[in-house]
Amino acid sequence: MNQKWLLYSLDPDLKLKQLKSDDFLEEEFDHIQTTALEQRVTEYDISCTLVGEDAHYKFASIVSRPYVMYSQWDLSLLDRKMLAIVWPRKASIYHQQVMEDFFQVLSRYDIVTISGGAPGIDTQCHQLSMQYGIPTVMVLWWWFGHYLHSTKRHELKAVRDSWGLVLSEFRLKEKPSKRSFPQRNRIVAGLAETVFLPGAARESGSLITVDFAIQMHKEVVSVPASIYQDGSSGTNEYISQQKINSIYDFEIFLERYFVRKGKDEAQGAYTWLDLTETQQCIIVSLKQHGWLGMERLSQESGLDTWELLVEMMELELQWAVWEKDVGVWDVK
């Protein structure tokens, strides 16, 4: 266990600048007893990474890169593609329905969600993720100690029991300040491939996450909403300024960034959007007629024999069709 971060966690006067220094001497802090903290973090399964030494590469891409990162449970989730889901604390009925429908589609993809653990859509994101069997990452805006000794500990336990991950860059006894929220938000945006924001008012703090995501060249998307709905005035304004994109089809959006579950398996290995227009025409013909030979497929598709063979080979590689007999195909 790295002595540096133990000292940093216990001494409020120890600054990150000192911790990063090449001439940092642990001997100067011999008076600090770390045994109790070591026992505590072992009991609660808390670990710490000094970013830049053995940290995951994703941390390095975050604006104002964190130097110390506390974590609980499955750090291997960082290896997978993440979708950040953020929104203000008060969710309208419309946006709650959007979340329900979105997660029904989301559950079909190999994906990890990430959010900030705050009341509202953040909490709903973690709850729906667990409900649909999707791993989730909760980024705290407070010190771990607060969560471990409050009603929030049940939320952390639920994330743990669903094989999730909890992160915080705040030292274990550090209380939040005005800077805590944007600090947390930049980590949420930085670890994700893209950000989904169902809606936000003009003064919403979740737009801070959006601004960080844009700064880090991440796509942010939202859903269309009434111009009379205050809970979407901020996202509507960002859409009009072309800062974020409006989506109308969850499948089309998710296909751009994530892989559908079972994609590498023989069954259900392709999606309709994977296919070219010509390949879609071939699949439709096979579904209508059951199975077809070269001559009939050539007529249906308008391709010559060589072009058709190339397309059929592509479809076989995608597990969309199989060769029932020599020169005769059917859909999987």
d(CA 148, CA 155): 10
Burial (0-12, 13-18, 19+ Cβ within 10 Å), 300: middle
Residue 195: pLDDT band with limits 50, 70, 90: very high
Ranking 49-53, 84-88, 131-135 by mean pLDDT, the lowest is: 49-53
Of 261, 276, 116, 278, which is closest to residue 190 (Cα–Cα)? 116
Tell me the pLDDT tens digit for each residue of 110-133.
889 998 876 655 677 888 888 888
Give pTM, 2 decimals: 0.70
- Looking at residue 262, what is its pLDDT? 67
* Per-domain boundaries in the chain: 1-43, 46-257, 272-331
Tell me the pLDDT tens digit for each residue of 196-250.
988 877 877 788 888 898 988 889 998 888 887 777 887 888 888 889 889 888 9
- Looking at residue 1, what is its pLDDT? 47
Ranking 115-124, 271-280, 314-323 by mean pLDDT, the lowest is: 115-124
- Of the CA atoms within 13 Å of residue 107, those in its CB half-sphere come to 14
Q: Are the CB atoms for 255 and 226 separated by under 8 Å?
A: no
Q: Which two tokens stand for residue 146?
A: 């607060």
Q: Which two tokens stand for residue 56?
A: 């995951």
Domain 46-257 and domain 272-331 have a common topology:
no
The DSSP result for 191-223, as a single string, is H-SEEE-----TT-THHHHHHHHHHTT-EEEE-
Please identify, in words, the CATH class of the domain defined by 272-331: mainly alpha
- Average pLDDT over the chain, rounded to an integer: 79
Q: Are the CB atoms for 231 and 201 separated by under 8 Å?
A: yes
The CATH fold assigned to 46-257 is Rossmann fold (3.40.50)
Residue 294 has pLDDT above 60, yes or no: yes
The DSSP result for 68-107, as a single string, is EEEEEE-GGGGGS-EEEE---SS--HHHHHHHHHHHHHHT
| Strand pairing class (291-293; 328-331) | antiparallel
Taking every pair of Cα atoms in the chain, the longest distance, rounded to a whole number of angstroms, is 86
